[in-house]
């Protein structure tokens, strides 16, 4: 059984990971999906050494830069270090949407996104990262149908 109220945001942090996204992505608006606030908090922290982000509806004065909710693309699946992961919200990704994080916590991958932040300063490189929303299963469940495919994606993705 899925815990319906808890979403966990994860992304890759090991720069050596080889991430290959599906060929076709879909432009998304995180505000319309109801995911902007969670994604913004994560990306603001993730890129804190590079840029000071503010919400797209906020004040853009000074050294801050707005992160726009439509600067993301969703993907059905991706390969991380040659291991396939998919999003259950996309028909092509459903079969690869179950995984483990945090040394054995089972999750269902809801969305796989690639976010791009276009810098205000043209001398600085744009920022891009791949991240996903996952939903944890209840902790008392012990056996899962994909148990034989166990691969701890904590080494690939982290909370």
Tens digit of pLDDT at every position of the chain (159 positions): 333 333 444 444 445 567 888 888 999 999 999 998 888 888 888 889 998 888 877 667 777 888 888 889 999 998 887 888 899 999 998 988 888 777 777 788 999 999 999 888 889 999 988 888 888 876 555 556 555 555 555 444 443
User: What is the distance between the alpha carbons of residues 28 and 25, in angstroms, rounded to a whole number?
Assistant: 9
User: What is the distance between the alpha carbons of residues 58 and 56, in angstroms, rounded to a whole number?
Assistant: 6
| Full-model pTM | 0.77
> What residues pair up with 86 in beta bridges, in sequence order?
77
Three-state secondary structure string covering the chain: CEEEEEEEEEECCCCCCCEEECCCEEEECHHHHCCHHHHHHHHHHHCCCCCEEEECCCCCCCCEEEECCCCEEEECEEEECCEEEECCCCCCCHHHCEEEECCCEEEEEEEEEEEEECCCCCCCCCEEEEEEEEEEECCCCCCCCCHHHCCEHHHCCEC
Angle at 89 between CA 87 and CA 90, to 5 degrees: 75
Domain ranges across the chain: 2-155
User: What is the distance between the alpha carbons of residues 123 and 128, in angstroms, rounded to a whole number?
Assistant: 16
């Amino acid at each position: 059984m899925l815990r319906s109220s808890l979403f966990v945001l994860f992304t890759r942090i090991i720069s050596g990971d080889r991430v290959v996204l599906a060929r076709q992505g879909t432009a998304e608006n995180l505000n319309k999906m109801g995911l902007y606030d969670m994604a913004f908090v994560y990306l603001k922290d993730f890129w804190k050494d590079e840029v000071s982000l503010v919400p797209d509806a906020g004040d853009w004065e000074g050294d801050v830069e707005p992160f726009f909710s439509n600067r993301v693309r969703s993907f059905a699946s991706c390969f991380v270090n040659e291991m396939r992961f998919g999003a259950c919200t996309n028909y092509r990704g459903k079969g690869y949407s179950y995984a483990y994080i945090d040394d054995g916590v089972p999750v269902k991958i809801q969305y796989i996104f690639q976010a791009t932040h276009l810098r205000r300063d043209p001398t600085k490189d744009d920022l891009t990262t791949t991240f996903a929303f996952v939903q944890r299963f209840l902790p008392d469940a012990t056996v899962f149908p994909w148990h034989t495919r166990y691969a701890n994606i904590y080494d690939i993705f982290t909370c």
